[in-house]
Structure 1
Amino acid sequence: MKRIERTAYLNKLIAFKDKSLIKVITGIRRCGKSTIMEIFRDWLLAHGVTDNQIVYLNFEDYDFYELRNPRKLYEYIKPLILKDRTTYMFFDEIQHVENFPDIINSLNLKPTVDIYVTGSNAYMLSSEIATLLSGRYVEIAMLPLSFKEYVDATDAGDNIPKAYMDYISRSSFPYSLELDTPSEVSDYLSGVYSTIVVKDIMSRKRLPDVMMLESVIRFTADNIGNILSTKRIADIMTADGRKIDQKMVERYLSALCETFFVYEAKRYNIKGKQLLKTLGKYYLVDLGLRRMLLGSRSFDAGRILENIVYLELLHRQKKVYIGKVDDLEVDFVAIDADGITYYQVAATVRDEKTLKRELASLQQIKDQYPKFILTLDDDPTADYDGIKRVNALEWMMGKA
């Protein structure tokens, strides 16, 4: 399998190298967590670290099954800790180890130990575990491939629009690039999906009805980019003959977010600079999963682009919200240490009425932070009194 160099994640691991923090790499199954560990281990070896300084254990490998017992794991590891040099410890799928926070915290007390762990779901960062690791860890949240990573990996730079259509119709999961036909990709995604639903959600959350869970998944996938409330979801599904109450919808959505299958974007009052408690939006981690679940009938260029832009902002380490300004909506308010950027997303704004509508909410914002309209229009960049309209694909490639 061709290894895709995930530079942004590698640089983050390098930045935290030798810091006395547990590096927790999270993300949906098959997004590349094990691979980034491998890439970082190779980087260490290329920069003066020796083989005996590295300990790597994958707890989904049956060879290490007995080490899921914390006492046996500690007995195995203790002789491997070097006294005069740093020992870099990599624990893949750490959630399989019983009471893993205890042993991780204990190892982290050793002055010559640097720890990196992965997990396929948010169990390790639930409120209880976060309390146990409080102040001692940093989370590195991974996603499947960004659009630029996909283009670079497929050498598709000569035809960016075609690469975009492939990206949204196939999958952003790295292994999908090894598959030759749409049927193979669909079968692969079906396996990923089934594992997440059965292993990560149904068994761990002890949810009562897998068919109802799948109904919630399909409803959410069909409504990316739409303002939703759990009550509205429950009412619509019940009206369609799938009786479910609001609290059960909340349980299902919470489980989907914890497994990184979907992401919730909460609403943000731009003028009041505060989060609002209701009516957020949900976006899928991968558009190939959406196509597998709903088929080609679900193709909506504008909402798919909105989902992709949301994921791109997460790739860029932004906190992303849905903006509210008076009675108007801003698609995304992206916040990081450098400030705020506002985005409207539309498949096309060549129609004058559409352009006017997309500009309206941004024009209501009186601060001086950057404001963009991102579209699929292959037109020159334009400026409307400080609001820039740019091609979304060029923006995702870092060229606009």
Structure 2
Amino acid sequence: MLDVLRELILDAQEMPLDTGIPRHLDVRTVPGKATVCIGVRRSGKSTFMLQLMSRLLDDGVPRENILHLNFFDDRLHALRHSDLGVITEAYFSLYPEKKNTETIYCFFDEVQVLPHWEPFVDRLMRTEQSEVYITGSSAQMLSREVATQMRGRALSWEIFPFSFEEFMEFHDVDHSEPLSTRKRLAVQKAFEHFWEAGGFPEVAGLDRRLRTMIHQEYLNTVLFRDLVERHDISHPQAVADLTHRLIDNVASLQTANSLTGYLKSLGHKISRNRITEYLAWLEDAFFIYQVRLFDASLSRSNVNPKKIYCVDHALAASAGSGILVNTGHLLENLIFSALRRITAEIFYYRTGNGKEVDFVAQVPERKRMLIQVCESMVDQGTRSREVAAISEAMTELGLAEGTIVTRNENDQLAVTNGVVNVVPAWRFLLSLSSEAEKTS
């Protein structure tokens, strides 16, 4: 095992780093804590690790000071039955002069396949002069588990699929401000591409047929590895039917009772508590998100229906039945995903008169954002309804500004208590990218 590890360590140090498109993530290390990158499968966690390595090299860290191992490598299978201390033994047998004299940067991909990896990483940080970076599949390494397993010695960072800005950089689209007519048209065209393709890096340059197949593969992997295998679910068809129901109804209100009734109508003998567990497990896998009602009372917020969103709007379109999902709901899902990249404090709002606004988002270091999503406001009845809802919410929340996100429309509307900005989705996404930079 020692010889195999030495060879793999040296191979990794000689291998060129395929870093891809730089991600807009401000990941910061904290002394004494492992840096853990978590997120939905295929969101680019391992590639981001390579980007972190590249930054270290640019800062003058010698390549020999980087220890990189991917534990899915079949040559490391025997390591699952060994004392993991052999890893550091192999490294320092190559570079004995570095022990306790230089910082060693340890990058461990898919570390969760190793039994008892947690005490090994904990011991490594306590006894060696090191920084530790970890990725793991969401099947066996979820945020709440990292916190438990590492006993406070880890800091987790979420990795999402490409943002719109990252998607444009992948396709070499110049979106720098100020936007000329030519650049604006290129950005708008890129948005239409992003609308079809979504943010998963692997599908960004593929045609629709391949993209759909890969999206469906992602869904099946999440279902059967992150849920069925992981939690030993005895009725896998029930969780599959539930997930498809959620995907077909993104941006819609759901309750555990209504979902239980739906599954029972399909012949599944399943309890409400089991449905609640399935929903929690889908959230743990970073695949489905539940958004609560904005309410000062946590109990009232929890008992009200929750809105359901998928991690990626295009995946929802690919994996859905095509019957119930509509483009307005997909646009709302897209806006949710963009908001979720910069804050977890996202709610929906219901006014005193029962009007609903899609999002109240608390962005760090700024006031709340009040956002309504409406595919088109050309119809006067739709326009009046959407403006009335957001205006009423602005009054109740004491906000002088609200935003209505559309596919293509742009306007500014004066209301009695402030201003409602009507913006096209592409412009709103770019403004969120700027917001993220301010708060990072």
Distance 2:124 2:400 in 1: 44
Q: Choose the corresponding residue for 1:262, options 275, 288, 295.
A: 288
Q: Which residue of structure 1 aligns with residue 84 of structure 2?
A: 73
Q: Quote the residue 2:302 is aligned against.
A: 277
Deviation at 1:334, TM superposition (A): 1.1
Mean CA deviation greater in 116-125 or 198-207: 116-125
- Cα distance in 2 for partners of 1:8, 1:246 equals 40
Aligned partner of residue 253 in structure 2, secondary structure:
coil
Shift of 1:382: 4.2
Residue 337 of structure 1 corresponds to: 364
Deviation at 1:351, TM superposition (A): 2.6
Match for residue 245 of structure 1 among 265, 271, 274: 271
Matched, 1:359 2:376: no
Q: How far off is 1:84 after superposition? A: 1.8
Q: Alpha-carbon deviations, 1:5-37, whole Å to 9, x = none? A: 24322xx22xx2363221110011111000000
Find out whether 1:368 has 2:393 as its counterpart: no
Amino acid at match of 2:423: V
Superposed, which structure 2 residues align to 1:35-46 within 5 Å? 35-46=47-58
Classify the secondary structure of the residue corresponding to 2:431.
Answer: coil
Tell me, in whole angstroms, the C-alpha distance in 2 between the residues paired with 1:17 and 1:294: 39
Give the AA of the match of 2:34: I
**Distance (whole Å) between structure 1 residues aligned to residue 139 and residue 236 of structure 2:** 20
Q: CA deviation at 1:3?
A: 5.0
Q: Are the equivalent residues in 1 in contact too, given 2:35–2:133 (CA < 8 A)?
A: yes
Number of residue-to-residue matches in the alignment? 393
Whole-Å separation in 2 of the counterparts to 1:298 and 1:167: 21
The alpha-carbon deviation at position 241 of structure 1 amounts to 4.3
Aligned residue identity for 2:32: S
Is 1:182–2:208 an aligned residue pair?
Answer: yes
2:195 is matched with which residue?
Answer: 168
Question: Does the 8 A contact of 1:341 with 1:369 survive in 2?
Answer: no
Contact 1:291–1:298 under 8 Å retained in 2: no
**1:94–1:119 contact (8 Å) kept in structure 2:** yes
Superposition pairs of residues 120-159 of structure 1, within 5 angstroms: 120-121=137-138, 123-125=140-142, 127=144, 129-156=146-173, 158-159=185-186
Query: Partner of 2:350: helix, strand, or coil?
Result: strand
Q: Residues 81-92 of structure 1: matches in 2 within 5 Å?
A: 82-92=99-109
Q: Confirm or deny: 8 A CA contact 1:23 1:116 kept in the other structure.
A: yes
Output the CA distance in 1 between the equivalents of 2:146 and 2:23: 29
Contact 2:40 2:160 in 1 (8 A): yes
Letter in 2 for 1:73: L
Counterpart amino acid of residue 242 in structure 2: V
SS in 1 for 2:122: helix
Matched, 1:217 2:243: yes
- The structure-2 alpha-carbon separation of the partners of 1:343 and 1:273, relative to structure 1 and needing over 3 Å to count, comes to farther
Return the alpha-carbon distance in structure 2 between the equivalents of residues 105 and 136 of structure 1.
7
Could you give the per-residue CA deviations for residues 40-92 of structure 1, whole angstroms, max 9, x where no partner exists? 101110111111211111111212223334x5322222454732221111111
Could you list the runs of 5+ residues in structure 1 that have no partner in the other structure? Answer: none
Q: Distance in 1 between the 2:412 and 2:128 partners? A: 53
8 Å contact from structure 1 (residues 340, 369) kept in 2 = no
SS at the partner of 1:214?
Answer: helix
Question: Cα deviation per residue 1:141-189 (whole Å; 9 max; x = unaligned)?
Answer: 111111222122123564444433432333421011343x322222222
CA distance in 2, matches of 1:130, 1:3: 28
- Conserved in 1, the CA contact under 8 Å of 2:18 and 2:50? no
Which has the higher mean CA deviation after the structures are superposed, 36-45 or 59-68?
Answer: 59-68
Conservation of the 8 A alpha-carbon contact between 1:18 and 1:114: no
Task: Assess if the C-alpha contact under 8 Å between 1:264 and 1:280 holds in 2.
Answer: yes
Q: Which sits farther off after the overlay, 219-228 or 56-65?
A: 56-65
- 2:74 corresponds to 1:62: yes
Maintained 8 Å contact 1:24/1:138: yes
CA deviation profile, 1:104-155 (whole Å, cap 9, x unmatched): 2222224621111112216434655423434322211111111222122123
Amino acid at match of 1:50: P
Secondary structure, counterpart of 1:321 in structure 2: strand
SS in 1 for 2:302: coil
Q: 2:328 is aligned with what amino acid?
A: G
TM-score (norm 2): 0.81
C-alpha RMSD of matched pairs (Å): 2.6
Q: Which has the larger radius of gyration?
A: 2
Comparing 122-131 with 20-29, greater Cα deviation is found at 122-131
Aligned counterpart, 2:24: 8
Q: Give the percent of matched residue pairs that are identical in Structure 1 and Structure 2.
A: 24
Question: Which residue number corresponds to residue 317 of structure 2?
Answer: 291
DSSP-derived class of the 2:290 partner: strand
Shift of 1:374: 1.1
Gaps of 5+ in 2: 1-16, 93-97, 175-184, 435-440
Alignment-derived partner of residue 315 in structure 1: 341
In structure 2, the partner of 1:378 is 409
Task: Give the Å deviation of 1:244.
Answer: 3.2
CA separation of 1:369/1:100 partners in 2, compared to 1, >3 Å: closer, same or farther? farther
TM-score under structure 1 length normalisation: 0.89
Change over 3 Å in CA distance of 1:33–1:127 after alignment to 2: closer
Note if contact 1:32-1:174 (Cα within 8 Å) is conserved in structure 2.
Answer: yes
1:277 Cα deviation from its structure 2 partner? 0.8
